[in-house]
Amino acid sequence: MKRRKSLIASAVALAVLAAGLTATAISAKPTRHSANSIEVLSLWGGSEKDAFLKVTAAFTKDTGIKVEYTSARDFIPEVRTRPAAGNPPDIGILPRPGYIGTLAKQGALKTLSSLGLSNSYMAGNYAAGWLKLGSSGGKLYGVPAKANSKSVIWYKPDSFKKYKFKIPTTWAQLLAITKAYKAKGLVPWSVGAGPSQSQWTLTDWFENIYAKQAGPDNYDKLFSGNLKWTDASVATAVDTMKSAIKDEYVVGGITAALGRSFTDGIGQAFAANGTAVIYYEGGFVGGIATGQTNTALKVGETIDWFDFPAVGSGKTVTIGGDVIAAFTNKPGVKEFLQYMTTADSGTVWAGTGAVISPIKSVPASAYPNDLAKREAAQVANASAVRFDGSDLLPSGGGDNLGAALQTAIQGKTVDWAAFETAMQTKWKAEK
């Protein structure tokens, strides 16, 4: 386990660096044939779903295989219970690579090699870090689907211009802008962090701050079970996070934030009647905001993003991503997985402006707009890149962390010793 985690940091950085750069690709374009439709289960809705459906439409056009897309907002319970009930989806898109191990141990997943995708073939299309995220017990189960930077902060450029605020490059500068808005009688931040479906946004806050403040090496140790959660660096990062997420700085206060979904948080800032000016979440926010929340938004005028500022001297970039796994081997499943590893699929998806493709052979020209190109460049040029920490925790660990951070921003004491015990128990269960 320790070796698996230690490889992730550098390899994932190479994975995203490779996205959009020229590389030798292995051709695996599926042949057209007749087959029943396959079901793909995911939690994506709205613009994220629309972007993915463009990929499945291209697949159907190439192969004649139809894709039935099922969106499940309670994704994790459904992806656990359906196989047990004898009704698995054919394909599941897992938002937390940590669930690969759990589902593989249950015998719910098919190995990629059993579906004709050899380890050598996958290694030709992806960097090692991505393949480790889709592996369990030495076997490869997951096809890397997409990535996004988690180190971007969304804002209203027209508002910054009105008050002559410069883009902050340090945490201190970001707090200064936050306080300046408050002094003008405005509530700057929108936060959507509850009740359970959106608590993961708080883990992204923590991870960005921790990676920068404590450094990438400590980040690797913390999220691989080799640094205790009782370490002082954890409490320091939480305190730093709480200096921005405070009642007086968040629309509706902390109580409202804990009852608001992350998409409602986007609307609180960027809907036509949005009052907040700043919203933190990943690169995928741009597609949701402009394609779903408010189609009248204008990039560079009413919406844009800047780099999550340095905390101290740290500038580590964090990223998130999803993996595709097969629950059945019915006709069409192999072909779908093959297609999802090709430059054809990656180019279609990157062309939506919603994702960074982890496929090596997807060219930079595939990204259609400034937001997406800048996001890919930010990750490619970062001094250090780390994968979403909560997604690296053992199954259920991310939920535990989100709940702990919900407690923290309410001003309550988090029992990090109990949290550490829970994580160690989960790590042992996965070894």
Q: Identify the pLDDT of residue 193.
A: 96
pLDDT band at 23 (very low <50, low <70, confident <90, very high): very low
The encoded tokens of residue 381 equal: 């040029």
Query: Do 145 and 159 belong to one domain?
Result: no
Query: Do 219 and 272 belong to one domain?
Result: yes
Q: Looking at 30-39, 153-162, 202-211, 414-423, which range is the least confident one? A: 30-39
- Check which CATH number belongs to the domain holding 80 and give it: 3.40.190.10
Query: Do 266 and 180 belong to one domain?
Result: yes
Query: Do 276 and 131 belong to one domain?
Result: no
What pTM, to 2 d.p., does this model score? 0.82
pLDDT digits (tens, 9 = 90+) for 45-81: 888 899 999 999 999 999 999 999 999 878 888 888 8
The encoded tokens of residue 249 equal: 């700085």
Query: Do 157 and 301 belong to one domain?
Result: yes
Average pLDDT over residues 279-300: 94
- Percent of the chain at pLDDT exceeding 90: 72
Instruction: Write the single-letter amino acid at 211.
Output: A
Q: Identify the pLDDT of residue 401.
A: 97
Q: Looking at 2-16, 42-56, 346-360, which range is the least confident one? A: 2-16
Beta strand pairing status for 38-42 and 135-136?
unpaired
**Beta-carbon contacts of residue 298 (< 8 Å; ≥ 6 apart):** none
Question: Omega of the bond prior to 195 within 30 degrees of 0, cis?
Answer: yes
Query: How many Å apart are CA 88 and CA 91, to the nearest integer?
Result: 8
Res. 31: pLDDT tops 50:
no
Query: Do 305 and 158 belong to one domain?
Result: yes
Instruction: Write the single-letter amino acid at 86.
Output: G
- What is the total count of domains within the chain? 2
pLDDT digits (tens, 9 = 90+) for 106-154: 899 999 999 999 999 999 998 888 888 889 889 999 999 999 999 999 9
Q: Which residue has the higher pLDDT, 18 or 416?
A: 416
- Choosing from 294, 315, 336, the residue where a domain stops is 315
Query: How many Å apart are CA 302 and CA 304, to the nearest integer?
Result: 7
Average pLDDT over residues 281-305: 95
Domain housing 138: 2-149+318-388
Res. 7: pLDDT tops 60:
no
pLDDT band at 24 (very low <50, low <70, confident <90, very high): very low
Asked, for residue 421, whether it belongs to a domain, the answer is no
Residue 364 DSSP code: G
Query: How many Å apart are CA 43 and CA 72, to the nearest integer?
Result: 5
Res. 364: pLDDT tops 60:
yes
In terms of average pLDDT, the best of 132-146, 370-384, 410-424 is 410-424
Query: Do 98 and 166 belong to one domain?
Result: no
Residue 32 DSSP code: P
Average pLDDT over residues 25-40: 60
Query: Do 381 and 271 belong to one domain?
Result: no
Q: Which residue has the higher pLDDT, 36 or 317?
A: 317
Query: Do 79 and 118 belong to one domain?
Result: yes
